[in-house]
Amino acid sequence: MANVAVVTGASRGLGRVIAGFLAGQDFDLILTGRDEAALAAAVAALSKNGARVEGVAGNVADHAHRKTLAEIGARRGGIDLLVNNASELGRTPLGPLAAYPIDKLDQVFAVNVFAPLALVQELLPLLQKREGLVVNISSDAALGGYPGWGAYGASKAALDLISLTLANELKDSGVTVISVDPSDMRTDMHQSAYAGEDISDRPLPDVTIPFWAWLLSQDRAAISGRRFRAQADSWELGA
């Protein structure tokens, strides 16, 4: 039986790279993203290389969309890997947290905090069935307190704590939970944060592939609850 992975935000950027890597590792893929055309293009490209891929366009903040992903996972017999990669940058241009519109903050937390947790809840029986791994994509903004990045950083800090708490709560169920900071990359989201600036000095998301290859080889019990950096001399942050 093939391993099954769900990757959110998979139509481009980091999510697309992770999906491509997993396809090369013979994972069956369930991919989602908000851009229907970009997601369809990703599915077509991966399927052409022989991967078994199903794409479902939608917003992970929507309950009905999460239910659909769970239904597909159930038809596949379980979930081995969930990558909560979909993220919302928030208001652009970036601005001070003291003046941040609360309705925009609601949107950031809906996608970056509530949706990943809700998707874990929805997929938990399927993850338990396969003793699966949950990867929540974080950010260095969760730790940095960078001016202008307060809303996004706060949401990722909350996701880090959710990851650790879930790891502690699910340790006896066979489900592993970690968070991963991919660091700066040349992506559409990063360009949106620096509109009009040249970000060509940032690496493409492909730079993280060695980390993903290493991660899949690790003892799950040993890594659960950890926070990792996909671009660093030492991938693990803290112990």
The CATH number of whichever domain residue 232 belongs to comes to 3.40.50.720
Alpha-carbon 99 to chain mean position:
28
Assigned token pair, 147: 């001016």
pLDDT at 238: 47
* Close Cβ partners of 3 (under 8 Å, ≥ 6 residues apart): 25, 26, 27, 28, 80, 81, 130
Q: Are 35 and 9 in contact (CB under 8 A)?
A: no
Query: Cα–Cα distance between 71 and 69 in angstroms, integer?
Result: 5
What is the 8-class DSSP label of residue 55?
E
CA angle 19/206/221 to nearest 5° reads 60
* Sequence-distant (≥ 6) Cβ neighbours of residue 182 within 8 angstroms: 14, 137, 139, 205, 208, 230, 231
Instruction: Return the amino acid letter for 179.
Output: S
The model's pTM is 0.94
Catalytic residue among 11, 87, 100, 138: 138
Is 67 a residue of the active site? no
Q: What is the pLDDT of residue 50?
A: 81
pLDDT at position 195 is 67
Number of domains in the chain: 1
Cα 43 to the center of its chain, rounded Å: 17
Residue numbers of the domain that contains 121: 4-237
- Beta strands, E only, the chain: 4-8, 28-33, 53-57, 81-84, 133-137, 176-181, 227-229, 236-237
How far is Cα 20 from Cα 16, in angstroms, rounded to an integer?
A: 6
Is the pLDDT assigned to residue 237 strictly greater than 70? no
Residue 177 pairs in a beta bridge with 134
Q: pLDDT tens-digit profile of 21-38?
A: 999 999 999 999 999 999
Measuring CA to CA, how many Å separate 226 from each of 15, 113, 168, 180?
20, 18, 11, 9
Q: Known catalytic residue: 156?
A: yes
Residues of the chain with pLDDT > 90: what percent? 80
| pLDDT (0 to 100) of residue 134 | 98
| The predicted structure's pLDDT at residue 183 | 80
pLDDT higher than threshold 90 for residue 139: yes
Does the pLDDT value for residue 51 go beyond 90?
Answer: no
Rounded-to-integer distance, Cα 24 and Cα 21, Å? 5
Average pLDDT, the chain: 92
**Per the residue annotation, which of 11, 87, 100, 156 is the catalytic one?**
156
Contact 110, 61 (CB under 8 A): yes
> Is residue 109 very low, low, confident or very high in pLDDT (cuts 50, 70, 90)?
very high
56 pLDDT above the threshold of 50:
yes
What is the band of 199 on the pLDDT scale with cuts at 50, 70, 90? low
73-96 tens-digit pLDDT: 999 999 999 999 999 998 889 999
152 is catalytic: yes
Q: Exactly one of 100, 152, 155, 224 is catalytic; which is it?
A: 152
Taking the C-alpha atoms of residue 4 and residue 16, their distance in angstroms, rounded to an integer, is: 16
